[in-house]
Amino acid sequence: MTEISARDRRAARGTSSLAAQVLELVASGKASSRAELAAQLGAAASTISLTVGQLVERGLVAEEGTHSSTGGRPRKALRLGGTDEFAVAADLGGSHVRVGVVLPGGGRAEVSTVPFDIGDGPEAALNRLAATLEELADRRGRPLLRGVGLSLPGPVDVESGTVVLPSRMPGWNRFPVTAWLEERFGVPAGVDNDANCMAMGEQSVRPAAHRQSIMVKIGSAIGSGIVVDGRLYRGATGVAGDITHSRIDGAADIPCSCGNTGCLETVASGAALVRILRERGADVTRPEDVVRLARDADPEATRAVRRAGDHLGRVLAANVNFFNPDAVYLGGLLSTLEPFVAAVRSQLYESCHPLVTEHLTIERALLGADAGLVGAGQFALQRALARALREVGTDLGPDRFPAPPRTV
């Protein structure tokens, strides 16, 4: 994105509304050429061409490749962002972090997993993480860095950019993560919880027809992100999709990290499976040990994993019946186990109305372990785009943008 002068701002005021409409159509995948924009907006081709040209000049939209054509001159395809711009992003876990470069179209590069101790607290942990992300940015070309994204394993207040009462992040409560990153990197930062980031990332590689979905992350804990009409839905206070603390009969009076008893997390999460198998004499200390045993067809582990999938499926069924989504995507460590996925799928088919499941997609996340990373990077790029739009007189907040269309 190039620097925008005062003259640019004055010139943009007259077309800011049209520019916002153009950007929203391109972001949603509803239009990918100047001709399609003109047809949908009912504007003259010359007006659309001028507006697109201005957005391209400022790096807000890029034109590349060509559409297939039955005749005449091939049309260039439009997408958000400049061709070489990027964000650096990280998806934090308790003992490791996945880092990489995220591109405007949802692509990723230089992805790796490095050791990380979230228990060190925000100052020490973020300083080490920032050094890793700066190395990535320098290798890619620091002047083209447009944002930094962070996926966190705890509740996030997006407005303040803080983590709120996280159960597994000692010292992080109310720490200003977004402000810290923006001061360190000098670019917009996108910070959200891991389930929301996974929902955003997965949406970027799914068919455009799947505009209503639930993304469930099942790792040490459980979370879900909800996509409505192609956009992430956060709810009134930003915690939509927090199914982990749903009360279920199968959990009895087992205490939960939230302070209540009988929550889904106590019987269906990775941490719960570790506890359950240890009580049965298994040598496990972390969810990865549970996965190893289940893959080796250990009968106790397989039985426990199936039961966990059944519990999750029961809670999901109520949400699926209510929401009627196009798809349910499963991510996180436990989603790599077929007995777990099969149990979730079976419970949904058994408990949901036939009309709800008739065309329902239920499967693992296509992005696998990279879903949260890609989503965090997309949030960062959207914030960079929203800031650039404000500079040219168009106020289109980052939550107005749908997930980017599927890359091909």
Query: Quick one: pLDDT at residue 98?
Result: 97
What is d(CA 309, CA 303) in angstroms, rounded to the nearest whole number? 10
Does the pLDDT at position 379 exceed 60? yes
One-letter amino acid of 144: L
**Is-contact 351 360, C-beta < 8 A?**
no
DSSP-derived secondary structure letter, 23: H
Q: Average pLDDT, whole number, for the chain?
A: 88
**Residue 31 three-state SS:** coil
More confident site: 129 or 401: 129
Does the pLDDT at position 69 exceed 60? no
Residue 85: closest CA among 68, 66, 67, 62: 62
What is d(CA 255, CA 156) in angstroms, rounded to the nearest whole number? 23
What is d(CA 194, CA 384) in angstroms, rounded to the nearest whole number? 20
Q: Domain ranges in the chain?
A: 6-80, 86-199+370-400, 207-365
CATH 1.10.10.10 fits 6-80, yes or no: yes
Report residue 405's pLDDT band, with 50, 70 and 90 as the boundaries.
Answer: very low
Does the pLDDT at position 160 exceed 50? yes
Residue 328: closest CA among 192, 214, 188: 214
The CATH topology of domain 86-199+370-400 is Nucleotidyltransferase; domain 5 (3.30.420)
Superfamily of domain 207-365: ATPase, nucleotide binding domain (3.30.420.40)
* Kind and range of the H or E run holding 148: strand 145-152
User: Dihedral of CA 259/242/196/156: which sign?
Assistant: negative
Does the pLDDT at position 134 exceed 90? yes
More confident site: 140 or 393: 140
